[in-house]
Amino acid sequence: MLISQSDVPLAPPPVSELAVRSALREAQYGRAIELTQQWVVANGVAAVPAELVPLVLGAYHASHRFDDGADFVERLADHGALTGPVAKVGATLFSEAGRLRGWGALLDRTLGDGNDPTLLLERARAHFSLQEYAAAIATCDRIPRDTSNVGVAEPYLRGAAHAGLAQWDLAEQSLRLCLERQPRHYRAMLELGRVQLRRKNIDGAIETLRRCISGRPRDRAAILLNLGQALQRAGQGEESKFVLRAFKSANAHEEKRKDLEQAVRINPSRVDVYVELAEFLVDDPAERRAAQAAIARGLELAPNSDRLLIAKGRFLRPVDISAAKDAFVAALAANVRAHDARLELAEITLSANGLQLADRFLSRCREHVDASRWNLAFTELEARRGRGYGSAVDYARRAVDADPTNLEAVLAWVDLGMAFQEVEATTKQLAVWSAADPTNPRFLIAHAVLEMERDRFQAAADLLALAMTVDPYFPPTHHFSAQLLRRQDNKTEAKVAEARATYLARVLGQ
């Protein structure tokens, strides 16, 4: 009787593979590496399943054991197992280990006269990393034309290499090809903007770089510096100043991240550096992967670090409230003085209408957390408890007083005024705050929102116009203008205003 392939019972995977996979799943990178090493000693490097190898290499990377990881890649290469996916992680490991030359040599050995597209692309990248631009281009030339999996990476690399050689025409051609294939390739967009700037196509550069910053906040410093310079050269001095100011803060942010990453690289077993890195990255939507790695590695070293557990909770909060809650609870279990965890738990419980519990959390952390945020949470608690306008409004006022730049608090003030029909008192106080801080557009915006809610569109428009004269580059002003325009059925203008709001928010890194 013939038996089909699917009838054959699958052999259970070796225990060691299960163990490695389990360790990787739990983000126990050190353990995963240790188990893999034991496995290799027992069965040889070829025994490690191909699909598992990149994951193990990822563990080397996450635990900053770059040299060991690079050694492992070399052993894999010796056994003919330097495949495309391995090469991708291998490139990072060798680069971080300071072994760029070694990586190039390894790829050359493996490639021979072959034309594996992924390996050729990695070889071209290795040349590029050493600024061997002509060699990078020559290697790109060896990649078979019909290869789809390097379809975007190859023209990008080629374009960047041509730009490095100041071959602007060829650079622009390749970068445009890359963008044709993947319109949201923001690195290519940045490179194209730079090329346009060098070619004195200033308007083109501005358009490209604006599109680039609106699309993605990564590489902000580079985008903003080039955009600021392009605006300057186009005579748009005011916006240039705004963009260059934003660049300075983006640069400070990137420098700090660089310093922290360097600190981790130098001493990968220092928990405090992981804590600082995790806290630094966790609220940045563009840095989620890096934040996750830092939290995981830190918790592997110090599973009871309350600060890392809070960071973990903050990381999980946008995607998995329940898991986030567990992390905050664990932080409190690890340290009863982890007050930030209490505030987070209070906010989570409030949103689920757990008023009593929220009250308990809030009353225990009052003196130890950000005053504006605490008062804002308490405003919500009071409002949900139906304690009346007087009580809630008192906390809302304190939230604004504690931080007049907290737009959420200012808008909460307006919400309360509307909910309790205290429009006159609300507008009066907004005017007082506005007069006390005429450079702060938030009170004008809040007033405009109030007027919008009352269908007094012209008054709202006047207030938003005033807010724009106070600070033409404050994104919420444009966002609420878009809302107003939508309410007035002016969809085209609304779209423009919303795009402007997004652009400005991206410039500011919001």
Partner 1 sequence: MKTFARDKVRSPRAGGGPLLVASFVLVVVGVLSARENSSELRFVTERPVDFVHAKGASGQRYLVETMGSGAALFDFDGDGDLDLYFVQGAPMPGAKRFDSRNCLYRNDGRGAFARLTGDHAAPDARYGMGCAVGDIDNDGDPDLFVSNYGRNSLYRNDGGRFVDITREAGVGDDAWASSAAFADFDGDGLLDLYVANYLAFTVDVHKECSLGKGIPAYCSPDAYPGVGDRMYRNLGGGKFLDVSDRVGLGKSLGKSLGVLCADFDRNGKIDVYIANDGVSNQLLMNSGDWKFEDATLVSATGYNDDGLAQAGMGVAGGDLDDDGLFDLFVTNLSSETNVLYRSLGDGFFEDATALAGVGPPSFLYTGFGTNAADFDADGDLDLFIANGHVIDNIAKFSDHQTYEQVDQVMVNIGNGRFRDDTVKSLGTQQPAAGRGSCVGDLDGDGDLDIVVTNCDSVPVVYRNQSSGVSWLAIELHGGRSNRDGVGARVRVHIGARVLERERYGGGSYLSAQDRPLYFGLGSAKSVDRVTVQWPSGTVSEVEVQGLNRCVVVEETATGAATTKPATSRPAKSDR
Q: Does 495 bind partner 1 (CB under 8 A)?
A: no
- Whether the CB-CB separation of 445 and 468 falls below 8 Å is answered with no
Report how far residue 367's alpha carbon sits from residue 375's, in angstroms, rounded to the nearest whole number: 11
Report helix, strand or coil for 10: coil
Q: Is residue 215 classed exposed, middle or buried when 0-12, 13-18 and 19+ CB atoms within 10 A define those classes?
A: middle
Q: Does 229 bind partner 1 (CB under 8 A)?
A: yes
Q: How far is the CB of 78 from partner 1 (least distance, A)?
A: 18
Q: How far is the CB of 399 from partner 1 (least distance, A)?
A: 34
Can you read off the two tokens belonging to residue 357?
């519990």
Among the residue ranges 12-20, 245-253, 374-382, 428-436, the one whose residues contact partner 1 (CB under 8 A): 245-253
Choosing from 232, 249, 391, 490, the residue that interacts with partner 1 (CB under 8 A) is 232
Site for partner 1 in 302-341 (CB under 8 A): none
Report helix, strand or coil for 112: coil
Can you read off the two tokens belonging to residue 15?
């225990």
Q: Does 221 bind partner 1 (CB under 8 A)?
A: yes
Q: Does 166 bind partner 1 (CB under 8 A)?
A: yes
Q: How far is the CB of 349 from partner 1 (least distance, A)?
A: 42
- Whether the CB-CB separation of 120 and 143 falls below 8 Å is answered with yes
Q: Does 133 bind partner 1 (CB under 8 A)?
A: yes
Q: Does 267 bind partner 1 (CB under 8 A)?
A: yes
Among the residue ranges 19-27, 77-85, 158-166, 437-445, the one whose residues contact partner 1 (CB under 8 A): 158-166
The H-or-E segment that residue 377 falls in is helix 371-385
Which amino acid, 354?
G
- Whether the CB-CB separation of 402 and 418 falls below 8 Å is answered with no
**Nearer to partner 1 (CB atom), residue 98 or residue 318:** 98
Choosing from 212, 224, 299, 316, the residue that interacts with partner 1 (CB under 8 A) is 224
DSSP notation for 197-256 = HHTT-HHHHHHHHHHHHHH--TTHHHHHHHHHHHHHHTT-HHHHHHHHHHHHHHHHHHHH
Q: How far is the CB of 147 from partner 1 (least distance, A)?
A: 27
Site for partner 1 in 176-215 (CB under 8 A): 194, 197-198
Q: Does 109 bind partner 1 (CB under 8 A)?
A: no
Among the residue ranges 31-39, 108-116, 240-248, 482-490, the one whose residues contact partner 1 (CB under 8 A): 240-248
Contacts 24+ apart (CB under 8 A), 67-72: 67/97, 67/99, 68/33, 69/93, 69/97, 70/94, 70/97, 70/99, 70/102, 70/103, 72/45
Q: How far is the CB of 255 from partner 1 (least distance, A)?
A: 7
| Number of Cβ within a 10 Å radius of residue 193 | 27
- Range list of β-strands (E), 251-362: none
Q: Does 130 bind partner 1 (CB under 8 A)?
A: yes
Q: Please give the torsion angle defined by the CA atoms of residues 25, 216, 88 and 123, in that order, rounded to the nearest 10 degrees.
A: -170
Choosing from 63, 83, 208, 240, the residue that interacts with partner 1 (CB under 8 A) is 240
Q: How far is the CB of 392 from partner 1 (least distance, A)?
A: 44
Contacting positions for partner 1 (CB under 8 A): 67, 98-102, 130-133, 163-166, 194, 197-198, 219-226, 228-229, 232-233, 240-241, 244, 247-248, 250-251, 254-255, 259, 262, 265-267
